[in-house]
Amino acid sequence: MKSRLFRYLVSVVLLTLLSAPLSGCRSLCSRFGSREQRLAMIHRGEAMLTLVGDGPGLRIGKPLPAVSLVDPELKEVALSSYLGRTLIISTVPSLDTPVCGRQTRHFNQVIADFGPNVALITVSEDLPFAQKRFCETEEIANIDVLSDYRDRDFARASGLLVKELLVLARAVIVADRNGIVRYVQVVPDLGQEPDYAAVLSFVRGLQAGGGDALPPTPAATP
């Protein structure tokens, strides 16, 4: 009798211990996973990739996400700190890849033509230490390079998180001086560079309108 009671108590304890982490996992999945939305498909070569977010993602005419990023010195930088200037956001999967390096170097060169009323940031999921090393090696001085590594808040709020790789999609976003999204270009092939000419033409038109008015020709979004 005592032996059966002992085995029963042991089984109850084991069942409790095993079920606790599972229920905790279900709680976390319910809290975070239920918000995840599939927003678009891109590809890398022949492999299809899914863009997900915690909401509808970026929308023309809507504000940028109210999130913060991390600079190479581990200081938080809010997107709202760029209000008052036209903001170009260049997102890349990783600065340790050739295409992302070319994209960042190109924007670092051309942004000088726009003057102080236009700011440009590059955002990736790379650690700030890796971003700092890249900027020092490549002499990136005209743009801010920021990391979304802590919670991927920007990736999820913008709908640019590549679910299979947990990196940002390659994209370029333009927001006016009031922080309103005016242009979104998501590159359909992760291995290709953006259409730089289209981005820069749009920014020039936005600047001609005072920095917060749409150019005559609206930007195409995928």
As annotated, the active-site residues are 100
Helix-helix angle 128-138:98-110, to 10 degrees: 60
Length of the chain: 222
CB 64 within 8 A of CB 78: no
CB 92 within 8 A of CB 124: yes
Residue partners of 56: CB distance under 8 A and separation at least 6? 37, 39, 159
CB 178 within 8 A of CB 212: yes
Six token digits for residue 82: 């760029």
